[in-house]
Structure formats: structure tokens, C-alpha cells
Structure 1
Amino acid sequence: MIITCDDSEYIAFVKSRLRDQFLMTDLGPLRYFLGIEVSSTSDGFYISQEKYIQDLLARDALGDERTVDTPMELNVKLQPTDGDPLPDPTRYRHLVGSLVYLAVTHPDISYPVHILSQFVSAPTTVHYSHLLRVLRYLRGTITRRLFFPRSSSLQLQCYSDATWASDPLDRRSLSAYCVFLGGSLIAWKTKKQTTVSVRVLRLSYVLWPC
């Protein structure tokens, strides 16, 4: 259980009442929970998954120590027929699942993970190479964290964007958004639109006298 409150006396009261009803242990301030690291400073809170990334890279070690600046190349349009089918897609599926969980604190990989997760049923060598690029990107940005300041405005801001008919197969667009509460990023998502993008052309007619 996580208690979020500034009143130390009330926190102690809640813990005492819970202890009367349940067998529980007070682990102190939240520092690590399900692979998510939380650190508190006088300015605010930092949330990261640095250890989770380290364990992932150690368990599924790459053959080199290279890093890249972006998780995916620009204007990449992957298709199911790209490359040769992987003999065993188990590792691909495992890595994609791990990256989906990493997107909890890494909104910068939300887009490529969404793209790569569409091929888990039949991944190919090309899809796998792009997956390794995301891992190389994480290796170079492993210390990046989300920051939630203690003092911030309560102004809600939302930013959104979309690609037009970016999927080469079904012509559907991808939408993405991120929501800020003051200076804190609190929600983000990348999702394929449910309808097909259609471009409407306006035609002009000129009538000539007979």
C-alpha cells in the first residue's frame, strides 16, 4: 500500500489502524516498486527504471556497446513481409513485452514500441533489428528520469499530434498525446486510429458557353 499525504500524524494513525486489522510491515518511504525506482529530493520526485533497463540489457545482452540518439529512424514504415521470419519469435516477444513496461517511465519510446508490438505474432529479422535499436537507445539514455516538482501550478495542458495514413497496409493514422499538470508529465499514449484516413479533393468546374 502507498500512502500519499503530508500529515505525518495522520499517516501514523492510518498505519496503526491497518496494523490492527492486517499483518503488515512498514517499509518506510517508497524507493522501489515493481521495477520502478522513486527518489525524493527537496525539489520533487524522480521516477525511473534504470535498474530494470540494466537487468534487461544484461539478460538479453547485445553483441556490442553501441548507442544511438533516437529509438527509431525517421520515416520508417515497417511491413509484415520485411525481412525473413525469425526461427524462434520468443525473444522478440519477450523484449517487446519488457519495452511496453519500460514505457511507463519512458514516453520517448512509446511510438517505436507501439509500431514493433504490431509484429509479435510473426516477427522478422528486420523487425528485430529495429527492436535492437530501441535497446541501444535505452543504453545511451539509461539515466533519464521523469521529474515531478513539489511546487507546480495546477494548469492542465495537453499536446497531440497524428501521422496521416502512416500504416502502409490499412492506411490508418497514428495519434499521440501527452498531458502535463503544471510541470509534470502525467499521461501519454500512442494509438492507431480506428478509421481509415481519407483525403477529400475539391474539384472546380468551369462551364463554357455552347
Structure 2
Amino acid sequence: MDVKNSFLNGDLHEEVYMTPPPGVRHKSGKVCRLRKALYGLKQAPRAWFEKFYTVITSLGFTPSNHDSALFLRFMGAGRILLSLYVDDMIITGDDHDGIESLKQELAHRYLLSQIKYISHLFERARLSDKKTVDTPLETNVHYTPTDGVPLSDPSMYRTIVGSLVYLTVTRPDIAHAVHVVSQFVTAPTTVHWGAVLRVLRYLRGTQFQSLLFPSTSSLKLSAYSDASWDSDPSDRKSTTGFCIFLGDSLMSWKSKKQDVVSRSSTEAEYRAMAVTTCEIVWLRWLLANMGVDVSQPTPLHCDNKSAMQIAKNSVFHERTKHIEIDCHFTRQHLQLGTISLPFVPSAMQIADIFTKALSASRFRFLCDKLSMLIVVALT
């Protein structure tokens, strides 16, 4: 659900003046004092959140201790969870009457709607052709800052890539491709723009693809961690990829270049394990805050046995002293029972989709493992 003109609802705590817009009759030398926040004010996002916080807490909701934008209400009829992301919200729970009542209450205060985000993205990119592709990123192509000719006006590139970043919130299948093209927003070239257009053409052919959250799914976390060593030819840094499931439902995912150069594939894999462990710890806290039992270790699947041995063996000092913090962090949570480390064959490593460009068959196989389905509305 989307709140229309959300930032206009915020109250200002300080005096802000503006020049009257064109077409407004006013006395010469006079300015207007704002009574409400406007888009473009640096305090507008905070003012909107404070306003929403006041409204939602007045309806009996409390913020989570581990995510200030997650609001919970536990009552005799059941529980309701509301997650807010800027002006978008997700409402779920087992109190169906309470959810409908909440929607009606919010509709009285804010204008709510659902938007066709991907379709609008095509229009903004002025993509008029009907071409589609099977994957968002071409295989065996490694992009560098010097590829192609610099764009005369990079603003379109930045706008579309920014929109794609937002879209990855619900489209994990484009996460790695967007991670790649977002590295060139400072000085994009014609080659980089071609990569962006490929992502859009992939979206054109898969715009009805959706994440499936089955109601029968269990409340047990499981995670997959992977790394692509030496994947960037410009700086030789590796790429981390992970995905975390709640039962059969994909809850969290990431594709990100590692901050430092790894000296081996094992080291790259271990750094990815540490990042994934951080996310697991936070999700376990969040679930516990919702009343979910998290007493059992969360399985973190890895396809690198050497990296797994580092976590289990505290003797490998010579090989691991330069990544000591990651080693101790992952090893600590393994010993505490926060995580377990089952081995998974590379062919079944789901996180592979977040680390590199894949063939169409491999990409489709892993999309299915992410519980992504084609959903077409019946008319």
C-alpha cells in the first residue's frame, strides 16, 4: 500500500518561509510561511515519520525494538504487523477484522493506492521497443569504468538505476544486475546504459513475476551464503551474496561488493559468511520480538568446506589472522548455537544468483528456488 503525497502530511516544528510559486498573487517583497512540510525540505521525511508514528501508536501499535519502522499490535483477536518503508507499507497478521479496520482508519487520514511501478519505469526510461531477454545480466561480461563513451547527460542513468534499486525490495532476481550497474552512477557510459536497458528488457518479460509467501510456511530460518572471488577486474574485489528464508518464504537477500580484496576464494567465502551471520542475528532478534521461537540454530548453508573449517577450528592462525574479526564473529555464533554450518553442493547453492551473471537455465532454476512465480491477474 502506498500513501499519496505522504511528505505533505508532516508538521513543521520550526518556521520555514518560501517565495510564492508562479501564478500566486502576493504583495511585493512578501513571502509565505509554510504550515506543513513540502517535498524538498530536508526535514520532510522526519516530519512525515513523526506524524505517522503519532497516528499508528494512537491505534494501539508499538514499534519493534529491532526495527523502528515495524509496528506491532497484539490483542485477544490476534496480532497485526505493519512495516513502513518511506511511504509504502505492508500490513499482515492473523487478526483479519483488525487489519480491515486499520486500513479503513488509515484511508480516512491518508490516500492509499497500489502503483504499477515497473510499467512507469519503462515510460521514464523512454523504452519504446518490445524486446525481452531471459536474464538481467549478460554472461561472461565484466564491466569497468572505462567501457564505452561517457554519457553527455548522466541524469537519466542515475534516475533509472535509483528506481531499480528500489525495485530490488520485491525483485531479488535483479539484485545482482542492479548491484553491477549501480557502481557506475558517478560517470556512466554508453556500455553501462546498455546494461541498464538489458535489465529493463528482462523486467518487461517478467513484470508479473512475484515472490510467493505461502500461509503454510514454517517459522524456521535458513540461510545460504556465497561469494564470487576476484569478480571485479578493476579492483579485484569479490562479491558477497546471501539469501535468508523463513520457512519457504524469502525474507532477506543481498548482492554486494566486498570492502577489501580477499587473497583466496576461501577468504571471500568466509567474509560472506560473516555478513550473512550478522543478518541472521538481527532477524532472530526481530522474530523473537514478535513472539516466534528461535531457540534452534539457524542453518547457514555454504559450499566451501575450507571456509566452514575455519569457523569450526580456532587453530588456523597463520591463514586467518588478517580476517580475525570475521573469524571470531562467525565462530562465536557457531559456538553459541545461533547458527549451524551444513554443507551444500555448489549446484544447489541458491545464493549463487546474487554473486554472478548466470546462464538462462541456471538463472531460471535458482529463481524457482527463491519461490518466485509468474502471477497474472484474471480479467
Alignment correspondent of 1:145: 210
Residue 123 (structure 1) aligns with: 188
Q: Cα deviations across residues 143-185 of structure 1 (Å, max 9, x unaligned)?
A: 0011111111122111121111111121110000011111100
- C-alpha RMSD of matched pairs (Å): 2.6
Cα distance in 1 between the residues matched to 2:235 and 2:212: 38
Q: What letter is aligned with 1:150?
A: S
1:76 alignment partner AA:
V
- Who is 2:222 aligned against? 157
For residue 187 of structure 1, the aligned residue among 252, 270, 273 is: 252
Larger mean Cα displacement after TM superposition, 145-154 or 117-126: 145-154
Which amino acid counterpart does residue 255 of structure 2 have in structure 1? T
Q: Name the CA distance, whole Å, in 1 between partners of 2:233 and 2:216.
A: 45
* 1:25 counterpart SS class: helix
Q: How many percent of aligned residue pairs carry the same amino acid?
A: 55
CA shift digits 1:110-131 (9 cap, x unpaired)? 0010111010000000000011
Match of 1:5 in 2: 93
Shift of 1:63: 4.0
Question: Distance between the aligned counterparts of 1:54 and 1:62, measured in 2?
Answer: 10
| Cα distance in structure 1, aligned partners of 2:175 and 2:146 | 23
CA distance in 2 between counterparts of 1:58 and 1:81 reads 29
2-structure distance, mates of 1:191, 1:134? 17
Higher strand fraction (1 or 2): 1
> How many residues get paired?
175
User: Are 1:136 and 2:227 matched, yes or no?
Assistant: no
- Unaligned 5+ segments in structure 2 are 1-55, 57-81, 83-90, 266-379
CA distance in 1, matches of 2:176, 2:124: 24
Output the CA distance in 1 between the equivalents of 2:130 and 2:257.
33
Give the aligned residue type for 2:94: D
SS of corresponding position for 2:260:
strand
Unaligned 5+ segments in structure 1 are: 36-50, 201-210
CA distance in 2, matches of 1:112, 1:59: 19
Cα deviation per residue 1:32-54 (whole Å; 9 max; x = unaligned)? 3xx4xxxxxxxxxxxxxxx1001
Q: TM-score, normalised by structure 1?
A: 0.75
Q: Are residues 1:25 and 2:108 paired?
A: yes
Q: Deviations over 1:3-42 (max 9, x none)?
A: 5432356x28x85xxx7xxx97278xx873xx4xxxxxxx
Letter of the aligned partner of 1:6 in structure 2?
D
Aligned to 1:168: 233
TM-score, with structure 2 as normaliser: 0.43
Output the CA distance in 2 between the equivalents of 1:8 and 1:124.
Answer: 50
> Which residues of 2 match residues 14-93 of structure 1 at below 5 A?
25=108, 32=114, 35=115, 51-93=116-158
Structure 1 runs of 4+ aligned residues shifted over 4 Å read none
**Residues in 1 aligned to 2:107 and 2:122: alpha-carbon distance in whole angstroms:** 34
- Separation of aligned partners in 2, 1:149 and 1:64: 36
Return the structure number with greater helix share.
2
1:203 corresponds in structure 2 to: none
User: C-alpha distance in 1, partners of 2:256/2:131?
Assistant: 30
1:197 offset after TM fit, Å?
Answer: 1.8
Match of 2:45 in 1: none
Q: Distance in 1 between matches of 2:229 and 2:186?
A: 25
Letter in 2 for 1:157: S
Write the distance in 2 (CA, Å) between the matches of 1:88 and 1:31: 33
Q: Following the alignment from structure 1 to structure 2, what is the Cα–Cα distance between the partners of residues 24 and 143?
A: 27
